[in-house]
C-alpha cells in the first residue's frame, strides 16, 4: 500500500481526492496547511505528496522548496494540484520542486491515474 500526503486547505477538495485515492487502495494522510504538511512528511515519509499551491500562510511553492531542501524528504515526488492555470504557473510549480502538475477542478475519471504516474517505481 502506498502512502500519499495530501496538503490541501479546502475540505471539499480533501474529501474528493481522499475518497478517490482510498478507493484505489492508497493510504491518504491529510494536512490543512503547509507547515503541518512539512511535519507530516517528516513523520510519515510518504511515497508521494499532493500539494495545493494556494495555501494560507506558507504557500505551496514555499512548501515544495522546503521539502526539496531537506535531504531526508527531497526524494519524495511532489505533484502540484492547483487552480493556478495561467501561462507560467506550471513552470513556477516545477521550478519550486514539483515533478507533476494537475489542474483543479480535478477530473474524478482521470485523477488517480494521473497521480499514480508519479509514484516511485521500485525494483521489479
Report pTM. Answer: 0.94
C-beta separation of 67 from 78 below 8 A: yes
- Tens digit of each residue's pLDDT (9 = 90 or more) over 22-38: 999 999 999 999 999 99
Cα–Cα nearest to 51, from 36, 43, 63, 42: 63
Q: Residue 122 pLDDT > 90, yes or no?
A: no
C-alpha cell at 90: 506550471
User: Buried b / exposed e across 37-74, counting CB within 10 Å, b at 16+?
Assistant: bbebbeeeebbbbbbbbebeebebbbbbebbbeeeebe
pLDDT of residue 88: 85
CATH superfamily of 3-116: Response regulator (3.40.50.2300)
DSSP bridge pairs for 27? 3
pLDDT, tens digit, 9 for 90 and up, residues 71-116: 999 999 999 999 877 778 889 999 999 999 999 999 999 999 999 9
Distance set, CA 85 to CA 1, 21, 53, 105 (Å): 31, 23, 11, 11
Amino acid at each position: 500500500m502506498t502512502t500519499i500526503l495530501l496538503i490541501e486547505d479546502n475540505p471539499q477538495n480533501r474529501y474528493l481526492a481522499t475518497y478517490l485515492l482510498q478507493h484505489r487502495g492508497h493510504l491518504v494522510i491529510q494536512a490543512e496547511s503547509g507547515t503541518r504538511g512539512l511535519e507530516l512528511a517528516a513523520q510519515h515519509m510518504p511515497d508521494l505528496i499532493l500539494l495545493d499551491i494556494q495555501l494560507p500562510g506558507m504557500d505551496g511553492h514555499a512548501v515544495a522548496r522546503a521539502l526539496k531542501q531537506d535531504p531526508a524528504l527531497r526524494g519524495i515526488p511532489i505533484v502540484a494540484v492547483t487552480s493556478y492555470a495561467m501561462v507560467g504557473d506550471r513552470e513556477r510549480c516545477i521550478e519550486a520542486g514539483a515533478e507533476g502538475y494537475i489542474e483543479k477542478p480535478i477530473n474524478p475519471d482521470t485523477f488517480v491515474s494521473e497521480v499514480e504516474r508519479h509514484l516511485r517505481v521500485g525494483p521489479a
